[in-house]
Structure 1
Amino acid sequence: MFIRRGRLGGRRPLVASHLPLTHKPTPTESAQHKATKERVVATASRYGLDADSEVPVANRRSVTDALVTGPAGVRIGWEIQYHHLSPSSVHRRSAHAVEHGITPLWVAKDRTASLIDRAPWVRVDDMPWKDIADGKEMPLRGGYRHLQVWKCGPSSDRHCLLTEGAGHCGGMHADWFLAALCQPQKRATHLEDLVLSSATGDSVPVYVPHHGSGRAGRHMWVPATDCALWQEIVDEKTPLPEAPAEEDDRITYAEQEIDRNCRAGEEGRFVSDSRPIRDLGQSAGGITLARMPPQRLRRPGLITPVERAAASAALGCPPWELGPCSGCGQLMRRYGRNAAVYCSVCRRVLNGR
C-alpha cells in the first residue's frame, strides 16, 4: 500500500493506492548503482585523475557517490540515481554541491526520471550490474548534446525555427542535438569519455531556458567549444543562468468525501498513471541569429563611432583592426594579427557544421 498525491480541483490531497512494486526495497544501494559508481572511479584512476567514492560534503550533510578531480582542480560529483528521487531533493543536493565547489553530474537509466532537466544529467542504458562491472559499452543516450548552426534555405535538411511547415526564412539558426541527430552524425559519447572530459573541462554543463518561460528549459552536458560558440551567439560572456528551483507539489488535506465514481477512460492524468517521459530527445530550444543579418543594408565602410568603440571593447582589439565579416556583415577582427575574413560562426557554417 502506498500514499500518493491525488488530483482534485487544483489541489493534491493524499490518497491511498495499491500499486505493484517497481523494485524490491533494499537497505543498501543496488548492485547496478554500486557497479556504476565503481566503474566511474576506476575509469578516472585509469586516466590518472584523483577519484574516490562515498565522499562526504560539508560535515557529512551529504555524500557524493563518486568525486573526480581534474588536473586544474575541477571537481565533478557523480550522483548515480537509478530509482525515483523528488525534484526538490535533486535541486537541493545539486545546490549544496555547487556551494562547495563541486559540479553535480547525475546519472539516470529511466526516461521518466525526475532528475532529468532538474540538474546537469546524462542517461545510460538499463543493463545488468554484471555487464557494467565487466566493462560493456555504456553510451550516453540522453543529456549530452552538440551545437548545430545552419543556414535556413531550400537546400537545408532542417526545418525552420520561425516559420510553420516547410517554409524557410533565409536566416541562420542554432540549436542543440543528440549525436545521432547531428548533420553529419557525430560519434556517440560514452561514460568513460565523460569521466575524462568533464574533469579536464572539455565538457561543461549548460542550461538553456525555454522560450517564453523561465521555469522550463534544458540541462545538458556539451563540448566546451560548443559552449563557447553558444555564448558568442547569444552574446553571453558570463556563465549561463541556472535553472530555477522546482519544488515538489504542495500537499494539502481537504475534508471532502471520497469520490467513489469510476474514472476509467476519462481524459487527464491520474495518480495511478505512470510517470511521463521527460527525456524526449527533442531539440533543446534553438534560436535564430537575429544579431547577424544576411547582409548589411548600408556600405560596410560606414561604421559609426559608437559601433566601433563598442566592438573594440567587446573584441579586445584596437579600433583600426575592426571590419565587417564577409558573410554576415557583423563587426569582427578583420585586420592585424589573428585576423580573418569570416567570423567564427560563419566559418563553422561554411565548414559544414
Structure 2
Amino acid sequence: MYLKQSASGQRHAAHLRPGESQWAPESDEHKALKERIARAATAAGFEATIEARAPHGRRRTDVLVHGSDVMLGCEPQLSPISLSSVRRRSEISYDDGITPLWTTNDRTATVIDQAPWARIDRMPWRDYLNPDSQMPVRGGVRSLTSIRCTPGTSCNDRKLGVSCTGWNHQFEPVELPGFDDLIVRAAAAELKPLKQPLSRGSVYFWATATDIAEVQIASGSALVATVGQAPPATPIGPASVRGGGEDCTYGDVVFEIATPRRPRGTDMAVPVQRSAEATAREARAAANLEALLVEISYRGGHLTGEPIRTSSRQPGCVGWLLPTPSGPVELLIPDTDLADLHRTSLLAPLLYIDGEPWWWYPMIGRLTARTI
C-alpha cells in the first residue's frame, strides 16, 4: 500500500504507486507477447484467439487457447495491477471454465504467487516476436523432489502435522528453457496449476501432471488443485472509511511515502505429502536403491552426498539423482519388489542410467565405475 495526498491535502491509501496505472495503453511488448503466445499455440495444433471476449461482457482474455481438455487464458501483465484485480479477473476466468496463466517480466509483480503465473526476462518487443529467442521461464514452475529426513534437518512431515516418514517431499522452483514450451505443455495439460496453503497465505505454481499425481490433493474439482488442506481462515476486520468521502481520487497525486518494492515469490521449498499409493511405490523403490548402494559400496564405490529424489519420467520407475565423484548421475529405478523382478527375468531392463536402459548386474558395474 502507498500513501497519497490529493490537491486538497487529504491523505489516503492506494494499491499502486503514483504515476502507475493498470489501464495504461497497450505497449508494444504486450502486443508482441500476445502474438508470441498465439503463434506457439497454433504451431502445436491448438486453436488460439486473441482478445477473446465473453458473451456476458465481464471478461476479455488476451489470448484464449483451446487446449486438450483445458481452456487456457493467457494474460501477459507487464504493467502494474492491483491484487484485487488479479483475484477478481482470475475468479471470472474460473467461473467461465478457463485456467488463467499470468505472465510478467517483473520480479515485484503483484501476480506472483497470487494466481497461476510465470516470469520471463525483460526484452525488447522484437525479441518477444523473434522465434529464435528462447525466452526462458524464470519463475512460476516447480518440480517434486524428495530428500532423506536426517537428524538436524527440518522435517516437512511434522510441519504438516503427521508422523515422519523418513523423507522430505517438496516442490522446488525450476526454470524452463523456453516460454513456448510452457504454453504448449499447459495447453496439453502436461503442466497443471497448483495452490499450496502455507502458514501465511498461499502460493500458486505450475507442476507436471506426473508430479501432481504423486501427492495428496484436497477434495474438490477446481481448475487449480489445492495441495493439502487450507489453514483456518483469519477473520477480517471492518474496513476503514477513507477521509473525504468515498469518491475515488486516483490520479490526484502530490507525493508518496513508500518503501522500495521487494521481489515477490519465494525460492523456499513447498512441503507436501505423497499419496498412500505413491508412498508404497516410494518404499519399494527406496528398498531397491538401498540394495543397489550396498552392492556399490561392497565393490569400493561411494557417493559424495545423499541421493535426491527427482521426477519419474518412466512409468514404473522412480527418479533419483546420485552425486558421484565423476558428477551427478540420473537414475530411474523400478518401483516393483526386486525379488519379483528377479524371478521374472534377470535379463529384463530394470532401470535407466542417464536415460540409457541397463540390466541389474551390468548396471552395478557401470555405476561402481562412476563412484570410485
Secondary structure at the counterpart of residue 78 of structure 1: strand
**Distance in 2 separating the partners of 1:105 and 1:120:** 5
Secondary structure at the counterpart of residue 144 of structure 1: strand
Q: Which residue of 1 aligns with 2:12?
A: 14
* TM-score normalised per structure 2: 0.60
- State the one-letter code of the partner of 1:210: L
Q: How does 1:29-68 map to 2 (within 5 A)?
A: 29-68=26-65
- State the one-letter code of the partner of 2:51: E
With over 3 angstroms needed to count, the CA separation of the structure-2 counterparts of 1:15 and 1:43, relative to structure 1, is closer
**How big is the shift at 1:273?**
1.4
**Distance in 2 separating the partners of 1:324 and 1:51:** 40
- State the one-letter code of the partner of 1:193: D
**Distance in 2 separating the partners of 1:53 and 1:348:** 39
**How big is the shift at 1:250?**
5.0
Q: Which residue of 2 aligns with 1:105?
A: 101
Q: Which residue of 1 aligns with 2:143?
A: 146
**How big is the shift at 1:324?**
12
With over 3 angstroms needed to count, the CA separation of the structure-2 counterparts of 1:288 and 1:207, relative to structure 1, is closer
**Distance in 2 separating the partners of 1:323 and 1:127:** 44
Q: Which residue of 2 aligns with 1:253?
A: 242
With over 3 angstroms needed to count, the CA separation of the structure-2 counterparts of 1:26 and 1:75, relative to structure 1, is closer
- State the one-letter code of the partner of 1:217: S
Secondary structure at the counterpart of residue 201 of structure 1: coil
**How big is the shift at 1:192?**
0.6
With over 3 angstroms needed to count, the CA separation of the structure-2 counterparts of 1:288 and 1:99, relative to structure 1, is closer
| Partners of 1:44 and 1:196 within 8 A in 2 | yes
Q: Which residue of 1 aligns with 2:196?
A: 208
**Distance in 1 separating the partners of 2:282 and 2:181:** 39
**How big is the shift at 1:347?**
3.9
Answer yes or no: is 1:273 the counterpart of 2:259.
Answer: yes
Q: 1:199 aligns with which of 183, 187, 198?
A: 187
Residues 42-67 of structure 1, C-alpha deviations (whole Å, 9 max, x = no match): 11111111001000023222200001
Residues 274-323 of structure 1, C-alpha deviations (whole Å, 9 max, x = no match): 2232123222x31467x98xxxxxxxxxxxxxxxxxx9xx9xxxxxxx99
Secondary structure at the counterpart of residue 145 of structure 1: strand
| Partners of 1:150 and 1:349 within 8 A in 2 | no
With over 3 angstroms needed to count, the CA separation of the structure-2 counterparts of 1:129 and 1:161, relative to structure 1, is same
Q: Which residue of 2 aligns with 1:117?
A: 113
Q: Which residue of 1 aligns with 2:307?
A: none
**How big is the shift at 1:253?**
3.1
Q: Which residue of 1 aligns with 2:342?
A: none
Answer yes or no: is 1:176 the counterpart of 2:171.
Answer: yes
- State the one-letter code of the partner of 1:253: R
Secondary structure at the counterpart of residue 96 of structure 1: helix
With over 3 angstroms needed to count, the CA separation of the structure-2 counterparts of 1:171 and 1:92, relative to structure 1, is same
**How big is the shift at 1:128?**
0.9
Residues 228-255 of structure 1, C-alpha deviations (whole Å, 9 max, x = no match): 1123xx686866339899x9x9563359
**Distance in 1 separating the partners of 2:103 and 2:121:** 10
Kindly indicate which of the two structures has a greater share of residues assigned to strand: 2
Q: Which residue of 1 aligns with 2:123?
A: 127
Q: How many residues align structurally?
A: 266
Answer yes or no: is 1:227 the counterpart of 2:215.
Answer: no
- State the one-letter code of the partner of 2:214: L
**Distance in 1 separating the partners of 2:182 and 2:281:** 39
With over 3 angstroms needed to count, the CA separation of the structure-2 counterparts of 1:152 and 1:202, relative to structure 1, is same
Q: Which residue of 1 aligns with 2:363?
A: none
**Distance in 2 separating the partners of 1:138 and 1:250:** 42
Where does structure 2 lack aligned partners over 5 or more consecutive residues?
5-9, 159-163, 245-255, 288-314, 322-330, 334-372
With over 3 angstroms needed to count, the CA separation of the structure-2 counterparts of 1:286 and 1:46, relative to structure 1, is same
Q: Which residue of 2 aligns with 1:218?
A: 203
With over 3 angstroms needed to count, the CA separation of the structure-2 counterparts of 1:69 and 1:327, relative to structure 1, is closer
**Distance in 2 separating the partners of 1:159 and 1:38:** 45
**How big is the shift at 1:84?**
1.0
- State the one-letter code of the partner of 1:116: I
**Distance in 2 separating the partners of 1:37 and 1:52:** 10
**How big is the shift at 1:116?**
1.2
| Partners of 1:85 and 1:114 within 8 A in 2 | yes
Computed over aligned residues only, the root mean square deviation of the Cα atoms, in angstroms, reads 4.3
Q: Which residue of 1 aligns with 2:7?
A: none
Residues 183-224 of structure 1, C-alpha deviations (whole Å, 9 max, x = no match): xxxxx342111111111110000001103x4xx121001111
Secondary structure at the counterpart of residue 145 of structure 2: strand
* TM-score normalised per structure 1: 0.62
Give me the identity figure in percent: 31
| Partners of 1:31 and 1:129 within 8 A in 2 | yes
With over 3 angstroms needed to count, the CA separation of the structure-2 counterparts of 1:271 and 1:69, relative to structure 1, is same
With over 3 angstroms needed to count, the CA separation of the structure-2 counterparts of 1:352 and 1:218, relative to structure 1, is farther
**How big is the shift at 1:21?**
5.2
